């Protein structure tokens, strides 16, 4: 989830399917309706903008033939986020509640699809997200020292594991710490993007004024849409001029997953709706102002990277912002920028770890995964606090600042495996495939409901072309991306197959328990 890169906070009552009430067109929720359009705009900005814009440019650039193509990928990712957010707003206001996409999938396709979405998020999406953030944290520090290695050594992985364990420990001690710091992290990341854009404009204006080029030089010497060679992970050069159209689509799909990582959070539009005074009018307006603002910010920030850096450097770094600042202003200022960006990454990691724990507890409360993972204040079955471990008190325990330690340990173990076996770029594709497979199914379901239930009350109802555009683009990207990245696709299929087996096994066990 660049995740603010956050994934739906599922609670037992949230995850249940909620049938719309014709007499109540406005969504119900647990939050007071005090927010206006400007508040909704700010919330969406804070949810979506995360660490991805500082870390994804390298993986995007490595999979496109030119800087201009990379900027188009960032634009396309924004279009997907925009159309997806409007469709989620339609579903979120038609089916009031705060349970994310799982209730929609359950209502449209059946319980197994809601379960599989939750399973995929818990076992694939969230651990991959935490692994990526831990890796980026470490690579940002190394980049400030001028170290950008296409294949980082094992020491980088070990340090990433250390970051992961620190984040888990922080959330195990207190579940409220990261949420209390959220406003601070939002301010830091917006300030960092602003400073990057100012740096890029400074280089351009100084050069146009007839002075020395303070940037990378390539931005005014080479064509932005001309194919050039990029650096492979092994250090060799890749020539794009010999790539077929079909192969190019595979590379573009992989690049798009990098951009989509940075746009993660657009699916939380229905969370914003829960607190708006008039969601019918204010939610579309919030989305239609916030997402374009984010798109402009991301495209501008990426254009700045190409101004500040030699183009051959962009594809090799997993910490583009730190590398750009180091090249432009030297290591002294780069250390300051690194601190800012690491704060952003730490905030995202804390938030995602917090959410992953709650998602795991919610799935456990529904008997989708072992009950021990749904306890709070316990390590295994040993109590380390006063919190009760029964499902009825788990949410209350977390609200009282008790930690779902077992869930956090489970998420950490999975994330550690991803860190040890993969790298950031492999994990970006895995994360994108895992997320967008279910986003595609959800949006396809919204299209199906337009025909199956035309009379369904839809306080927010965009043109049907909006979900169709999302479904067509995302569907193709999923299929082509899976063909292009068979290892990640095969891993994900294995995870889903295991999830299906566990679902039916546990369902049979529960049914026997009821009959008995």
Specify the pLDDT at position 364: 85
Interhelix angle 37-48/279-308, nearest 10 degrees: 40
Rounded-to-integer distance, Cα 264 and Cα 52, Å: 8
- Could you give the residue ranges of the DSSP H alpha helices within 209-231? 218-221
pLDDT range class, residue 16, cuts 50, 70, 90 = very low
Residue 461, CA distances (Å) to 94, 234, 276, 413 in order? 9, 49, 17, 42
Rounded-to-integer distance, Cα 103 and Cα 420, Å: 34
Closest CA to 271 of 115, 80, 456, 93: 93
Specify the pLDDT at position 295: 95
Task: Among 12-16, 67-71, 132-136, 440-444, name the one with the lowest average pLDDT.
Answer: 12-16
Specify the pLDDT at position 234: 65
| pLDDT tens digit sequence for 409-426 | 999 999 999 999 988 899
Rounded-to-integer distance, Cα 214 and Cα 308, Å: 7
| pLDDT tens digit sequence for 189-207 | 778 788 888 989 999 999 9
pLDDT range class, residue 28, cuts 50, 70, 90 = very low
In the predicted structure, residue 32 carries a pLDDT above the cut 50 = no
Q: What is the mean pLDDT of the chain?
A: 82
CA geometry: angle 14, 44, 341, nearest 5 deg: 110
Higher pLDDT, 27 or 53: 53
User: Would you list the domain boundaries of the chain?
Assistant: 35-358+420-515
pLDDT range class, residue 34, cuts 50, 70, 90 = low
Query: What is the pLDDT averaged over residues 306-331?
Result: 86
β-bridge partners, 231: 237
In the predicted structure, residue 428 carries a pLDDT above the cut 80 = yes
Query: What is the pLDDT averaged over residues 149-167?
Result: 87
Hey, is 218 helix, strand or coil? helix
Residues in contact with 503: Cβ distance below 8 Å, sequence separation at least 6, in sequence order: 112, 115, 116, 119, 368
Rounded-to-integer distance, Cα 17 and Cα 29, Å: 14
Closest CA to 232 of 315, 153, 310, 156: 315
Specify the pLDDT at position 29: 42
Query: What is the pLDDT averaged over residues 92-117?
Result: 84
Interhelix angle 424-452/245-262, nearest 10 degrees: 90
In the predicted structure, residue 247 carries a pLDDT above the cut 80 = yes
| pLDDT tens digit sequence for 203-217 | 999 999 888 888 888
Tell me, what DSSP letter sits at residue 492? Answer: H
Q: With 0-12 CB in 10 A as exposed, 13-18 as middle and 19+ as buried, what is 511?
A: exposed
Specify the pLDDT at position 359: 84
Residues in contact with 96: Cβ distance below 8 Å, sequence separation at least 6, in sequence order: 18, 20, 24, 26, 27, 28, 29
In the predicted structure, residue 187 carries a pLDDT above the cut 90 = no
Specify the pLDDT at position 171: 76
Specify the pLDDT at position 15: 34
Rounded-to-integer distance, Cα 213 and Cα 220, Å: 9
Higher pLDDT, 184 or 246: 246
pLDDT range class, residue 480, cuts 50, 70, 90 = very high
Specify the pLDDT at position 21: 37
Percentage above 70 pLDDT, the chain: 83
Specify the pLDDT at position 233: 65
In the predicted structure, residue 386 carries a pLDDT above the cut 60 = no
> CATH classification of 35-358+420-515 is 3.40.30.10, yes or no?
no
Query: What is the pLDDT averaged over residues 225-246?
Result: 83
Closest CA to 57 of 308, 234, 240: 308
- Could you give the residue ranges of the DSSP H alpha helices within 309-330? 311-314, 320-329
Q: With 0-12 CB in 10 A as exposed, 13-18 as middle and 19+ as buried, what is 241?
A: exposed
Query: What is the pLDDT averaged over residues 322-327?
Result: 84
Tell me, what DSSP letter sits at residue 276? Answer: B
Query: What is the pLDDT averaged over residues 488-505?
Result: 94
Specify the pLDDT at position 445: 95
Percentage above 90 pLDDT, the chain: 43
Hey, is 321 helix, strand or coil? helix
How many alpha carbons fall within 13 Å on the CB side of residue 196? Answer: 32
């Amino acid at each position: 989830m660049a995740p603010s890169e956050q994934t739906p906070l599922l609670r037992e009552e949230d995850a249940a399917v909620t049938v719309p009430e014709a007499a109540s067109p406005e969504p119900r929720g647990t939050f007071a309706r005090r927010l206006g359009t400007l508040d909704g705009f700010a919330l969406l900005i804070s949810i979506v903008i995360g660490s991805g814009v500082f870390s994804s440019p390298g993986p995007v650039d490595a999979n496109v033939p030119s800087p201009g193509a990379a900027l188009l990928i960032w634009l396309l990712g924004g279009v997907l986020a925009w159309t997806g957010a409007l469709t989620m707003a339609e579903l979120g206001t038609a089916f009031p509640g705060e349970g994310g996409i799982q209730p929609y999938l359950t209502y449209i396709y059946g319980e197994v699809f809601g379960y599989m979405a939750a399973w995929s998020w818990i076992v694939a999406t969230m651990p991959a997200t935490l692994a990526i953030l831990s890796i980026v944290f470490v690579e940002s520090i190394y980049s400030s020292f001028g170290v950008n290695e296409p294949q980082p050594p094992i020491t980088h992985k070990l340090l990433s594991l250390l970051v992961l364990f620190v984040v888990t420990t922080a959330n195990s001690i207190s579940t409220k710490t990261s949420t209390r710091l959220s406003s601070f992290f939002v301010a830091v990341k917006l300030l960092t993007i602003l400073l990057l854009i100012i740096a890029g404009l400074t280089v351009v204006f100084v050069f146009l004024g007839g002075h020395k080029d303070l940037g990378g030089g390539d931005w005014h010497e080479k064509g932005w849409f001309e194919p050039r060679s990029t650096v492979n992970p092994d250090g060799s050069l890749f020539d794009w001029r010999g790539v077929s159209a079909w192969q190019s689509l595979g590379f573009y799909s992989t690049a798009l997953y990098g951009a989509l990582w940075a746009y993660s959070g657009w699916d939380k539009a229905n969370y914003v709706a829960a607190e708006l005074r008039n969601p019918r009018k204010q939610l579309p307006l919030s989305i239609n102002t916030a997402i374009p603002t984010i798109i402009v910010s991301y495209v501008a920030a990426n254009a700045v990277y190409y101004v500040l850096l030699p183009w051959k450097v962009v594809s090799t770094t997993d910490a583009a912002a730190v590398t750009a600042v180091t090249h432009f202003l030297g290591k002294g200022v780069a250390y300051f920028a690194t601190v800012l960006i690491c704060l952003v990454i730490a905030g995202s990691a804390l938030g995602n770890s917090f959410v992953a724990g709650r998602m795991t507890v919610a799935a456990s409360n529904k008997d989708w995964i072992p009950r021990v993972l749904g306890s709070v204040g316990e390590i295994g079955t040993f109590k380390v606090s006063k919190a009760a471990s029964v499902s009825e008190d788990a949410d209350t325990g977390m609200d009282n600042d008790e930690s779902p330690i077992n869930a956090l340990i489970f998420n950490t173990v999975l994330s550690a495996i991803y860190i040890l076996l993969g790298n950031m770029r492999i994990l970006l594709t895995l994360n994108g495939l895992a997320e967008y497979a279910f986003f595609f199914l959800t949006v396809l379901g919204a299209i199906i409901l337009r025909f199956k239930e035309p009379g369904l009350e839809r306080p927010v109802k965009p043109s049907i072309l909006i979900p169709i555009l999302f479904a067509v683009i995302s569907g193709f990207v999923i299929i082509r991306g899976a063909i292009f990245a068979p290892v990640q696709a095969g891993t994900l299929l294995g995870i889903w197959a295991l999830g299906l087996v566990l679902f039916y096994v546990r369902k049979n066990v529960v049914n026997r328990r009821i009959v008995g």
